[in-house]
Amino acid sequence: MIRFNLDYLTLLNARLNISNVIIKINLTLDEIIEKSPNRIDYIKPMEQSIKDLNYSYEVLNELEAEWRISRQRNLDLELVILNQQIEIDKMNKEIEMCNKNLEL
């Protein structure tokens, strides 16, 4: 299985690839319908393939939307963690100061 570094360009490229395949199949299908309308053995599978690709395209769009939301949430949580780490560091310094004062 190929792992992708998911970013906006990768998702855009995937959507464009699906769109291109849909266009190519539509053009070929139109030509077959025009020249050989009785070739149902080609026409029906191609129509189904177009439906399948359109469905995949819509699923990809939904996944991208969820990915964006998850990515933003992740960044928000990283900021919370960073702020908490700063607070912990401040408290540790205060504890050290208090301990030093107690030793004196």
Q: What is the pLDDT of residue 47?
A: 97
Q: Whole-angstrom Cα distance, residue 65 to residue 62?
A: 5
> Tokens 């990768």 correspond to what residue?
10
What's residue 11's pLDDT? 87
**Residue ranges, the chain, pLDDT below 50:** none
- Distance between CA atoms of residues 17 and 6, nearest Å: 16
How far is 56 from 17, CA to CA, in rounded Å?
11
Tell me the whole-structure pTM to 2 decimals.
0.70
Rounded distance between C-alpha atoms, residue 89 and residue 84, angstroms = 9
Per-residue model confidence (pLDDT) at position 4: 67
Q: What integer pLDDT is reported at residue 1 of this predicted model?
A: 67
